[in-house]
Amino acid sequence: MKRILVTGGAGFIGSHLCEKLVKEGNEVICLDNFFTGKKKNVKKLMDYDNFELIRHDITKEIYLEIDQIYNLACPASPPHYQYNPIKTAKTSVIGAIHMLGLAKRVHARILQASTSEVYGDPEIHPQPECYRGCVNPIGIRSCYDEGKRMAETLFFDYHREHNTDIKVIRIFNTYGPNMDPNDGRVVSNFIMQALKGEDITVYGDGSQTRSFCYVDDLIEGMYRMMNSKEGFTGPVNLGNPVEYTMLELAEKVIQLTGSKSQIIHMPLPSDDPAQRKPVIDLAQKELGWEPHIMLEDGLQRTIDYFKEIIWKE
Ligand code: NAD
Ligand code: UDP
């Protein structure tokens, strides 16, 4: 069993990861500044002796003795990461430097939660890992996109300069229980709007596409990547290659919730990528991984979760 640090562990994805690692018997340190994460996401883990929660901001140094680091700390929804863009850039860049420094000092293996946003508004479709992206360096999404790109650069420089044992995954849109219902992301917005009988807000004409991965599938891929053979650094795409338009997603949510909500159109935010779909051949080959949970099934599980918490929000 290992000593494992999960930064951003009280967030949506981090909380699922902590649960898997704790239940496997590892010593898990969940580190979070609670900007978008919540204690309630990891509350049920508090009873385990092998789980520890630290309030800390990764833009500050920290000294711990650990074997593995999953670096997830960073707000992920556009409204959250645009709320304080300079802080988002600091979290990605200075946070990566601190976590890489820690990994170097204690010879830990470190995995970076990078993103499909490194491809920006892609001109190549679907996106393989070799595609270098089309990112606006000065737009409202840049703090996140360029921050994550710089973090990847730092990971590979630490690997080349110091032989740091790195793993880089590029996560495509992921959804499921423990998402913050007010985070402004499309899945949480549509489900909450449908459950409340409010209008479903499709931005633009709704023809833009995304590929949605259920969180359990993502966690399995992330775990396999962390424990993959030495020398396989990635970057590797992790996502569900089934693509939907936002209009199709809105219609699916209405159908699954049985809602009477109407679809309305709102302005498309600037730099909103028109299309996004991962090529997952590398994950299939190197990790034997592919997603198994279909959108309807994953959406139903997420709707059930939101139904449970809706009156507490
Ligand atoms: P989230 O916002 O729910 O989780 C991020 C967590 O990091 C939160 O708990 C937050 O409080 C914490 N955090 C933020 N800044 C911090 C700081 N400076 N110090 C310590 N903790 C900090 O988002 P998520 O969806 O769980 O995303 C987790 C990671 O996966 C992020 O790095 C994100 O960029 C990446 N990712 C997510 C998706 C997705 O679709 N969910 C897609 C691509 C990449
Ligand atoms: N979107 C939408 N309505 C909403 C929220 C988002 O139509 O209420 C669109 C958004 O413009 C984007 C897609 O859904 O095209 C995915 O948005 P999200 O913020 O979930 O993630 P992104 O992939 O853009 O980071």
Q: Which atom of ligand 2 is nearest to the CA of 200?
A: 8
CB 81 within 8 A of CB 143: yes
> Two tokens at 28?
């898990």
Catalytic, 48? Answer no
CA distance 248 to 177: 21
Biggest alpha carbon–alpha carbon distance for the chain: 58
Q: Using one digit for the tens of pLDDT, what is the confidence trace for 261-286? A: 999 999 999 999 999 999 999 999 99
pTM metric for this prediction: 0.98
Distance from C-alpha of 251 to C-alpha of 274, rounded to nearest angstrom: 19
175-207, pLDDT tens digit by residue?
999 999 999 999 999 999 999 999 999 999 999
Q: What is the pLDDT of residue 217?
A: 98
The pLDDT confidence band at residue 313, using thresholds 50, 70 and 90, is low
Partners of 68 in beta bridges: 4, 109
The C-alpha atoms of residue 123 and residue 134 are separated, in whole angstroms, by 7
Mean pLDDT in the chain? 97
> Could you give the CA distance from residue 293 to residue 310 in angstroms, rounded to a whole number?
24
Choose one of 186, 245, 271 to mutate for the ligand 2 pocket test, by most ligand atoms within 8 angstroms of C-beta. Answer: 186
Residues 105-133 have pLDDT tens digits of 999 999 999 999 999 999 999 999 999 99
Contacts of 112 (CB under 8 A, 6+ apart): 71, 96, 151, 152, 155, 166, 167, 168, 169
- Counting ligands in written order, the one closest to the CA of 143 is 1
Ligand 1 binding pocket, CB closer than 6 Å: 7-8, 10-14, 32-37, 57-59, 72-76, 80, 91, 95, 113, 115, 171, 173-174
Residue 28 has pLDDT above 80, yes or no: yes
Considering 70, 144, 158, 214, which one is annotated as catalytic? 144
Nearest CA to ligand 2 atom 16: 186
